[in-house]
Structure 1
């Protein structure tokens, strides 16, 4: 698309830069930016402008007991700096800069307004000259809360060009973005103070935010000036809302990945042990590892759910703040300000509804996750109970065998003792027999008989025990 060769008049380039003073990042880690951030940011922006000599801001050191206050000493609202270069057409400063840093609750707002001093038919510039207000991309500051670019200007009433195309060209030259990128970021257009306003940056998709306002008449500019000093507050709540939603999308995608991981782990329990089957050591180790994985997932999952709830509450709070500030501006201007009001009834509600739907969906994942954990724990506990019962049975069987052995030996010794005692009575010694034919000594005889009796007793008792076990098994 070719550049549009037209002039805009009384151009004002606004940049509202937002940064938290204290807060948390997307990982819920604490963030803190001291007041020097305001001065450092200003110096970064003003450095490429040799025609402005004021390279630093004198900021107050104290902190008033107010939710909103100027960061200039003596509560000054803003400071106006003039370019050292003169406009040859008007013999006035080529451009001026209005700087207004303030703190609103837990956030900083640095408002900058570069503008061409308004002079009848002599304050015009070509669209391509807008790039002079952003040398080296100095206006584009990366912050946690982002920024809003606003261009206001008058157009020649005889212009027939589509104003959306003119707005695209304005951003194209100011921010050095391609026209394709600008068109992709187009969000909506509407009316503000009887003038056409074009907005870029869909709150659901993008933290980028830019507004182009083409005044239709002088009264439009006057009405806009009535809300100018309050506009940063309204835009701050806008950015807090879209930042919270953007952060919620990060946690949404993380939770979605974890749901898939949970399903994979749960689905891997293809075969459960039969009623009387005992898990092998490898199976038991596998179950324990999966249990650990699910417990770790459960912790991360709960944190991400907490994050989503936090972002939902954040959006609700700042939607209310946005509405309160808007009500004030509506009374101040006696105007419905439908362009801003429509966000309350549409976008802000939609964002909260989306997170609510996400929470409902992911709470089902919590139920599945907890059931999976309980299932594995139950299987492990059942297996452990079976193992304990088998171990106890084996111990009992060992005890019984030991008792049988002791009883058999004791019985054998008793029998052998009786036999050995009675042996001389039933087997008298014959001195006429040679030694090789004489009976064994009573003691040796008793030992042999004891062993024989013990073995026979052991075998008999073992046979009885086997019969009893078979009987019990048959009965069972």
Structure 2
């Protein structure tokens, strides 16, 4: 099944123990890998704060916002994103988001994209667990809009299976061939849209946790943003 998706996003949620012998692991990975692979020039300025759950960006900013360009088959695309460093008790967290915006600079809707665009949101496999190396693990969340006008009813078992196939294909495009794809684990509904979970928790050291969330219902993304 070859289908296009709209406004694809990737979210990395990585966690690292504050008292580890390399406590700055997440911030170092931003500087040495993420900023380079996504062409970012803004440094991640960390400033420790007092409290149980605190934002760590200097000057009391919550997130570092960025814009960049990626290229696919000779065509350039704008991407945007944000980086949010936090501490929750004795754990550092890094939320990294890169996305194809829903609207262009003129306020018009961007075009739907082939699934191979997803590989541009994971350049040189930089978001994989082996590259980030966080001591307490990570989760990757892919979100894509599957636009209703494409004519894809979701009520029947057959069409739910097609959504699963779409999620599988999104995962294959996002994760490079050098890596083993995490096994399918389970599926469900979140805010009215289908979400698929990959990676079996008992898998051990090669565990890779990925969620693929296919927005089909108007409002799913807004509810997600509200609870982000």
User: Relative contact order: is structure 1 or structure 2 higher (C-alpha 8 Å, sep ≥ 6)?
Assistant: 2
CA deviation profile, 1:272-292 (whole Å, cap 9, x unmatched)? xxxxxxxxxxxxxxxxxxxxx
User: Of the candidates 56, 59, 82, which is equivalent to residue 46 of structure 2?
Assistant: 59
User: Of the candidates 79, 103, 117, which is equivalent to residue 64 of structure 2?
Assistant: 79
How many aligned positions are there?
Answer: 206
* Corresponding residue SS for 1:58: coil
Partners of 1:47 and 1:127 in 2: CA distance? 24
Unaligned stretches of 5+ residues in structure 1: 23-30, 229-476
Partners of 2:78 and 2:50 in 1: CA distance? 39
User: Of the candidates 104, 108, 120, which is equivalent to residue 92 of structure 2?
Assistant: 108
Partners of 2:176 and 2:69 in 1: CA distance? 26
2:135 equivalent in structure 1:
144
Moved >6 Å (runs of 4+): none
**Contact 2:101–2:110 (CA under 8 A) maintained in structure 1:** no
Is structure 2 residue 144 aligned with structure 1 residue 153? yes
**Contact 1:20–1:32 (CA under 8 A) maintained in structure 2:** no
Question: How far is the alpha carbon of 1:177 from its aligned partner?
Answer: 4.5
CA deviation profile, 1:357-383 (whole Å, cap 9, x unmatched)? xxxxxxxxxxxxxxxxxxxxxxxxxxx
Is structure 2 residue 29 aligned with structure 1 residue 45? no
* Corresponding residue SS for 2:166: helix
Partners of 1:72 and 1:188 in 2: CA distance? 36
2:191 equivalent in structure 1:
193
* Corresponding residue SS for 1:18: strand
CA deviation profile, 1:335-368 (whole Å, cap 9, x unmatched)? xxxxxxxxxxxxxxxxxxxxxxxxxxxxxxxxxx
Partners of 1:205 and 1:170 in 2: CA distance? 22
User: Of the candidates 53, 57, 60, which is equivalent to residue 68 of structure 1?
Assistant: 53
Partners of 1:126 and 1:86 in 2: CA distance? 13
CA deviation profile, 1:369-405 (whole Å, cap 9, x unmatched)? xxxxxxxxxxxxxxxxxxxxxxxxxxxxxxxxxxxxx
Give the structure with the higher percent helix: 1
**Contact 1:69–1:75 (CA under 8 A) maintained in structure 2:** no
Partners of 1:178 and 1:138 in 2: CA distance? 13
Partners of 1:150 and 1:173 in 2: CA distance? 14
**5 Å matches for 1:295-444?**
none
1:124 equivalent in structure 2:
112
**Contact 2:44–2:64 (CA under 8 A) maintained in structure 1:** no
* Alignment TM-score, normalising by the size of structure 1: 0.40
Partners of 1:164 and 1:178 in 2: CA distance? 23
Partners of 1:85 and 1:143 in 2: CA distance? 26
Question: How far is the alpha carbon of 1:200 from its aligned partner?
Answer: 1.0
User: Of the candidates 67, 78, 82, which is equivalent to residue 94 of structure 1?
Assistant: 78
Question: How far is the alpha carbon of 1:122 from its aligned partner?
Answer: 2.2
Partners of 1:190 and 1:67 in 2: CA distance? 32
2:21 equivalent in structure 1:
32
**Contact 1:171–1:177 (CA under 8 A) maintained in structure 2:** no
Unaligned stretches of 5+ residues in structure 2: 153-158
Question: How far is the alpha carbon of 1:188 from its aligned partner?
Answer: 0.3
Partners of 1:48 and 1:84 in 2: CA distance? 11
Question: How far is the alpha carbon of 1:85 from its aligned partner?
Answer: 6.7
Question: How far is the alpha carbon of 1:107 from its aligned partner?
Answer: 1.3
* Corresponding residue SS for 1:7: coil
- For residues 122 and 144 of structure 1, do their structure 2 counterparts lie closer, same or farther at Cα, with a shift above 3 Å needed? same
Question: How far is the alpha carbon of 1:218 from its aligned partner?
Answer: 2.6
2:162 equivalent in structure 1:
162
* Corresponding residue SS for 1:205: helix
2:156 equivalent in structure 1:
none
1:440 equivalent in structure 2:
none
Partners of 2:183 and 2:4 in 1: CA distance? 24
* Corresponding residue SS for 1:6: coil
1:13 equivalent in structure 2:
10
